[in-house]
Chain A
Amino acid sequence: MTTDKKEREGEMRVKKIENGVVIDHVNAGKAPAILKLLGIDSTFPGTVSIIMNIPSAKFGLKDIIKIEGKVMAEAEINKIALVSPHATVNIVKDYHVVKKHAVKLPEKLEGIIRCPNAICISNREGTPRLRVEQQSPLKVRCEYCERVFTEEQLA
């Protein structure tokens, strides 16, 4: 089998979704971190499918996440770039992909993620504001408590 065929087979291991999102080209192993970043857990009303370690033509191995009933605003889409800078978010309507977004990490993360420092003032009041100082390996600084966080500390 060609990698292309393996990839398509891998991608369709779960039932098609009617409306929602398919997050494709997720770095292998990062699907759980993305669900955590998006705050998706057992309280989420829709069905969530994760396929991990699919052979990919472009990336060797990749993960895919399919979330039924999920609507995503741009800020939320770009948050994914923290752990998977090459991910694509496909918007599915009536079983078809109607729009594709390449995720893009903004320099300033205002109100997008919380500061992992529990005693940071931004966890008490106001809007958290962090700045991406380096893309790879990821280095993000909280503009309040000044601490620098790595990818592992953020997701």
Chain B
Amino acid sequence: MWKGRDVITMREFTRKDMEEVLALSEKMEKISRGRGYDPILKGKILATLFFEPSTRTMFSFQTAMLRLGGTVIGTAEPKSTSAAKGETLWDMIKLVHECSDAIVMRHPNEGSARRAAESSDVPFINAGDGSNQHPTQALLDLYTIKQQKKKIDGLNVLLLGDLKYGRTVHSLAYALSQFEDVTITLHSPAQLRFPAWMYAELKESVKIREIPSMDLSQADVVYATRIQKERFADPTEYAQSAYVLDAEKIGTMKEDAIIMHPLPRVDEIATEVDADKRAKYFRQEANGIAVRMALLSLVMTGR
């Protein structure tokens, strides 16, 4: 079932799938921190293609592969080589799958992950396709929620920031919709609202609602995301839309709530918040390695 599987979108993940990944991730945690070594991917090659700059996701995948005894190949700038010469993604993947046992790709076009996966004979993992999906981020987010809150069912998750272009919140919302009695609460600037089609689709399976002001008091998880200046034609609109979680704001949060962020942050979370016991974003980021180890192992070996 897992062996050879492509990881393209959280829309295709059942609760059982997610729980399998989380369970294996937990077993990987020790090795992910450099304690112990289990070369289950020895002799395997992972190709990483990042058509958009990324340090954390790429490093996280590379480390995950190396910790399991595998090897990584990749070019820092696939854009400047193949695509610039007018080669299609389809043709490029035909070369890359001959050279590897699995492919990880980030690409600016939505649907590029599906296209690449259709061209590839080896398992393909989406590390972000435009504003569409970023499934491995959603899995590490779930892992962190489970780790910190001991459960996912019944939680109220508040998503903040750029909910329109933010692929991480899209993937996370679909992942959460598979759990019981979850409430997804949305708050964003008017220009960056959650896509209407996703909202309509999700409300069939989960409680999802938008709130007009940034009320943190009901949330079990406050998930902040970055608002990019480039999304606004008018800089004054950006200034009005920007938000900051600082010590005062998080004072309104529940005592046992957690603060997450897919990072990098810019100004959304004041550095003074880092010392608060509810701040879990660095832990969340670190969890990415174990979760990606689990996924790489599952798609290449089936376990």
Contacts and interface: CB of A to CB of B under 8 A. Distances in A.
Contacts of A142: 111
A124 B91 CA distance: 13
B111 A145 contact: yes
Contact of A122 (B108, B111, B129, B197): B111
Interface in B107-140: 107-112, 114-115, 129-130, 132-133
A119 B88 contact: no
Given A121-B112, A124-B109, A146 B90 contact: no
B51 to A, nearest CB: 11
Contacts of B225: none
A149 B198 CA distance: 11
A97 B129 CA distance: 49
A144 interface: yes
B90 A125 contact: yes
B149 interface: no
A120 B197 CA distance: 16
Interface string B6-20: 000101000000000
A126 B90 contact: yes
A121 B89 contact: yes
B interface: dominant SS: mixed
Given A125-B115, A126-B115, A145 B90 contact: no
Interface string B72-88: 00000000000000001
The size class of the interface chain B forms with chain A is 20 to 34
B201 interface: yes
Given A121-B109, A124-B109, A125-B90, A147 B114 contact: no
A interface: dominant SS: loop
Contacts, number: 57
A121 B114 CA distance: 9
A2 to B, nearest CB: 44
A121 B201 contact: no
Contacts of A119: 108-110, 130
A30 to B, nearest CB: 22
Contacts of A124: 88-89, 109
Interface in A113-145: 115, 117, 119-122, 124-126, 142-145
A126 B118 CA distance: 11
A148 interface: yes
A119 B115 CA distance: 13
Interface of B: 9, 11, 88-90, 107-112, 114-115, 129-130, 132-133, 195, 197, 200-201
13 contacts: A117-B110, A117-B111, A119-B110, A119-B130, A120-B111, A121-B89, A121-B114, A121-B115, A125-B90, A126-B88, A142-B111, A146-B9, A146-B132
